[in-house]
Amino acid sequence: MTREEPQVFITEEAIRRRVGELGRRISKDYAQVDILHLVGVLRGSFIFLADLSRALTIPGSVDFLAVASYGTTVAPKGPVRLITDLRTDIAGKHVLIVEDIVDTGDTLAYLMALLALRGPASLKCCALLSKPASRQTEVRIDYLGFEIPDVWVVGYGLDDRERHRALPYIGVRSPSGS
């Protein structure tokens, strides 16, 4: 079996620059807030969250939740379910959901609705990537890294059946499917 590396789609340098910009914008927007509560969506967002949290110049806290869609990785995906909940109560807190990628929009719509019920002081979302062409549920992304076409991307936390998560850049699966 050959171990072909995915083709570079967004370079490490471009990601670093964009994450820095997002960090500055978010820090400015939340400058008056005591603590910004970052909620990472496992597992895809773990690297983005690590970098974004360090790009912030305001006090922050970090928590995680995990979701899965029913069915397999093969489309069509089913509804979303919560696998692991937050450890902290978000009532009265300023919450920023940190997502790797918004594809159909189902996951983000589900999470926004779920967390809104818990009475946060504010609730927004930051996603590194968005594929507007595959949207099925309309969602607002308050802070977005990059819009991309409807291709399967890997790296920087994103996987292809658990492969390539640790790539430092965002790549596209090679045409052979490896």
Binding site for ligand IMP (CB under 6 A): 44, 99-108, 152-153, 158-159
State phi, psi for 43 to the nearest 5 degrees.
Answer: -100, -20
CA end-to-end span of the chain = 9
The option from ligand IMP, Mg ion, none interacting with 170 (CB < 5 to 8 A, set by class) reads: none
Q: Is 103 an active-site residue?
A: yes
Binding mask 89-108 toward Mg ion (x if CB under 5 A, else -) reads -----------x--------
The option from ligand IMP, Mg ion, none interacting with 106 (CB < 5 to 8 A, set by class) reads: ligand IMP
State phi, psi for 85 to the nearest 5 degrees.
Answer: -95, 170
Site for Mg ion in 5-24 (CB under 5 A): none
CB of 162 to ligand IMP, least distance (A): 11
Catalytic residue among 100, 103, 106, 159: 103
Q: How many beta carbons lie within 10 A of that of residue 43, not counting itself? A: 16
Binding mask 41-60 toward Mg ion (x if CB under 5 A, else -) reads x--x----------------
CB of 44 to Mg ion, least distance (A): 4
CB of 92 to ligand IMP, least distance (A): 27
CB of 157 to ligand IMP, least distance (A): 9
State phi, psi for 154 to the nearest 5 degrees.
Answer: -135, 165
* Interface residue list for Mg ion (CB under 5 A): 41, 44, 100
Annotated active-site positions, please?
A: 103
